[in-house]
A = this chain, B = another copy of it.
């Protein structure tokens, strides 16, 4: 099973690495970090680079595609190499997926037209403007298109996808392997639960996220 995770300048690292950590543990999985050219890609904070090992044109027919978000997604509208690759690769995938504002890239490629999907909570309007039907669920399956909410939701998405690909038992073993028994110290992870000051603080830095 060939799994391609697309990396681009100013993507959010955890959007890519969360799904990678889960999907790389699927039986027979080969995860490829793909991008416009091989070499390091600097993520959104500038403080971490992930390495692209495979250029888009070397991976034309992946089984699964994962597209992360991050404010660099703005550069991947019509005409970008990522868009062109996505539109072709999607013709071969069993699953085309995103984490966070990666959904905006899928939508801009025309892959989420009229479909239910999710993204970072700050980007529901952007997702709707690109033709999808945003929901506030954490993981949304609509046919072979699977979208996750902001950043960390990619882990939940990938575990759900692992269950579809390899069965519930395998997904549970992967969850135990990465000891994913989350115990956040606060209950502030969604705008419906977080205190008002947190919603305001994150909204104020929207440009660094979406």
Contact = CB atoms under 8 A, between A and B. Distances in A.
Interface of A: 12-14, 17-18, 20-21, 24-25, 30-33, 40, 45, 47-51, 53, 100, 120-121, 138-139, 149-153, 155-156, 159-160, 163, 168-169, 171-173, 175-186, 188-191, 193-195, 197-199, 201-202, 205, 209
8 contacts: A12-B21, A14-B20, A14-B21, A151-B179, A152-B179, A172-B188, A172-B197, A176-B190
A173 B197 contact: yes
Name which of A24, A25, A205 has the most chain B CB atoms within 10 A of its CB: A24
Name which of A18, A53, A159, A183 has the most chain B CB atoms within 10 A of its CB: A183
A160 B185 contact: yes
B152 A178 contact: yes
A43 to B, nearest CB: 9
B181 A155 contact: no
B178 A14 contact: yes
A126 B62 CA distance: 40
A18 B197 CA distance: 24
A180 B152 CA distance: 6
Nearest to A200: B173
Name which of A25, A51, A150, A190 has the most chain B CB atoms within 10 A of its CB: A51
Nearest to A161: B185
B48 A33 contact: yes
Given A155-B184, A171-B186, 10 more contacts: A20-B48, A21-B152, A33-B49, A151-B178, A152-B182, A153-B181, A156-B185, A172-B194, A176-B190, A182-B182
A190 B194 contact: no
